[in-house]
Each structure stands twice: as C-alpha cells, then as structure tokens.
C-alpha cells in the first residue's frame, strides 16, 4: 500500500520539483512563473472545472449523509484554521482566513481520485465525484464570503453584500463552475472543434499549476511559519478525516461512500489553497508551503487511514 501511495504522489512532487529547480537555477524568472500561474489560475483551471461539472452525472449517488459528513468537517476545519492563526500565531484577520482556507480545501481531484481508485477500484469513485461536484463552489463561497466580510468589517450591510458579490463573480474559478452547472442542467454541448480545443487547454491545467507552484516556493520559503504550517497539516490530514469518520458512522453512511468521504477528507490541501491566498495576496508563504509539506506527510497519514478503513 505504501508503494502505491508513492507511485501516485511521487509524480506530483517531480513536477513541482521541476518548477522549483528551473526557477532556482535561473532558467525561468519570477515573471515567467507569474505568467504560468496567471494562465493556470485564471484560464486553464476554470476550463477544467467547467468541463468536469458540465459532464458530471449529477443524479448519481448524491447521498445527503455523505455531503453532511464531509462538508461539516470542511467548515469546522476552516474555523479551526482561522482561530488557530489568529489566537496562536497573532496573524491579522485576512491572513487568518487565507490560512483557514488551507484546512478547508482538500486535494479531492489530484490526490483523492487516484488514491481511492487504486485502493478500492474504479467503481468506488461515485462518492468522490459527488463531493467534487460541489467542492470548489462550497469552499470558494465560504472562503470568499468570509474574506470579504473581514476586509469590509465596519461597513454597511449593503457594502458587504456588494463586496461578496463582486468577489464571487470576479473569480474565474467560480465562474467556470457556475457555467459548468448551467451547461449540465440544460444538457448543452459544445461544438466538436471547441470541445477539442478545450481539452488541449485542460491538459495543461494541472501540470502547469504544479510546475508554477514549484517556482513559487523559491520565493516563499517556510522560515518563521513552520508552526502555522504544522497546524494546517494536523487540521487537514487528521482532524478533517476524523470528523468525517465520526459523522459518517453516526449517520450510518454506506461503506463505499464512507470510504470515499474519509479518504477525500484525508487529502492534503489542494493547489486552490495557494490560488486563494495568491488572489488576495495574504499568507502566500504559508499556503504554498502547506500544500507541498502536507502532500509529503500525507504519504504516511493516508497510509494510516487506509489501514484503518481496511
């Protein structure tokens, strides 16, 4: 089982390491990395989310018990991250929200899908896809609303609502998700040539984002933030799956959905944790390092969860 995890996670590290090495050696400048980041964050990943939602079977196994188990854990971990950053490490509210988002957004696609499939087979992914269908929408809605609330504290309720609305609808990731749901619910399809072009863009989304993350890590080293990063790792890798486990057992969640929920909750913070921090320019070093370090530590923690799940 450990070898399986290494086979899944090692390629991710190699892509991140390539970006780090190329930037560290001076082959790519920080401006180059910023350009790749803007392409993936603002265009390629929204295209990926649009395509995934547009083609997802929304009628398959949307068990409310699974969604309650998983997303209650997500929301609690978001709150724990904010409070921990604010109370323990004296970060300002904006930084605290960005750090809390690292505990909210699990790597449900890049790690959650392949690990679940390798552990339990391709027929076990129904629960994963049910979580993924609303993952970005839920996390970004909660994260953006909270960030805009703390940024606009003291202003009128109308100003806050306008700020949240602007933050939501100026975020290309959220727009991609909403457009995907629009196409899905109306059973619309893209012309063949456009769909083929979209597939080419999507193919570059995750590798480009991971490569850019490696370059970003050259700029944001974890010195001085190691305790905050350790807190994120504990919240994401241990507390979130523990909450999902407890709720899943309490709600008598079927075994296949239970395994999908716990394993998805046990994944390291997703790359979108850094995208969120980078969008607001807050706690970027903590977010970038948490994604990398938690992904490495998850080789052992996910192995432990798989052993417990049986």
| Domains defined for the chain, CATH in brackets | 2-309 (1.20.1530.20)
pLDDT for 271 equals: 81
pLDDT for 172 equals: 85
Q: What is the pTM of this model?
A: 0.81
Instruction: Tell me the CB-side half-sphere exposure of residue 62, using CA atoms within 13 A.
Output: 8
Could you tell me the sign of the dihedral formed by the alpha carbons of 69, 302, 56, 146, in that order? positive
State the DSSP string of 257-281.
HHHHHHHHHTSPBPTHHHHHHHHHT
Q: Which two tokens stand for residue 304?
A: 């432990």
How big is the CA angle at 48 (ends 43 and 49), to the nearest 5 degrees? 100
**Residue 149, class by beta-carbon neighbours within 10 Å (0-12 exposed, 13-18 middle, 19+ buried)?**
middle
Distance in angstroms (rounded) separating the CA atoms of residues 210 and 143: 22
Distance in angstroms (rounded) separating the CA atoms of residues 74 and 89: 21
Distance in angstroms (rounded) separating the CA atoms of residues 296 and 290: 10
Give the range among 144-153, 184-193, 197-206 with minimum mean pLDDT.
144-153
Q: How confident is the model at residue 32 (pLDDT cuts 50, 70, 90)?
A: very high
Distance in angstroms (rounded) separating the CA atoms of residues 94 and 152: 11
pLDDT tens digit sequence for 115-154: 888 888 888 888 888 898 788 878 988 998 899 888 877 6
Coil/strand/helix, residue 172: helix
Q: Has residue 173 got a pLDDT over 70?
A: yes
Contact 216, 21 (CB under 8 A): no
């Amino acid at each position: 089982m450990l070898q399986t995890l290494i086979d899944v996670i090692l390629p991710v590290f190699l892509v991140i390491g390539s970006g780090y090495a190329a930037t560290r050696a001076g082959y790519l400048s920080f401006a180059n990395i910023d350009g790749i980041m803007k392409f993936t964050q603002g265009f390629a990943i929204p295209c990926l989310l649009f395509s995934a939602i547009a083609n997802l079977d929304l009628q398959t196994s949307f068990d409310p018990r699974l969604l309650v188990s998983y997303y209650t854990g997500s929301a609690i971990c978001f709150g724990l991250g904010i409070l921990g950053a604010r109370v323990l490490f004296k970060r300002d509210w904006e930084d605290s929200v960005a750090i809390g988002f690292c505990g909210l957004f699990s790597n449900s696609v890049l790690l959650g899908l392949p690990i679940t499939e390798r552990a339990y087979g391709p027929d076990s992914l129904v629960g994963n896809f049910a979580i993924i269908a609303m993952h970005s929408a839920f996390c970004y809605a909660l994260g953006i609303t909270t960030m805009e609330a703390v940024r606009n504290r003291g202003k009128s309720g109308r100003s806050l609502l306008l700020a949240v609305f602007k933050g939501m609808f100026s975020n290309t990731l959220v727009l991609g998700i909403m457009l995907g749901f629009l196409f899905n619910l109306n059973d619309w399809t893209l012309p063949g040539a456009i769909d083929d072009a979209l597939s080419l863009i999507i193919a570059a989304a995750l590798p480009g984002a991971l490569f850019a993350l490696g370059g970003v890590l050259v700029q944001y080293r974890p010195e001085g933030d190691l305790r905050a990063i350790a807190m994120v790792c504990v919240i994401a890798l241990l507390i979130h799956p523990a909450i999902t486990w407890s709720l899943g057992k309490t709600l008598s969640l079927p075994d296949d959905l239970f395994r999908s929920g716990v394993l998805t909750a046990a994944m390291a913070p997703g790359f979108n944790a850094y995208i969120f921090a980078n969008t607001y320019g807050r706690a970027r070093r903590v977010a970038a390092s948490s994604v990398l370090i938690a992904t490495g530590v998850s080789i052992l923690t996910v192995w432990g969860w798989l052993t417990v799940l049986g």
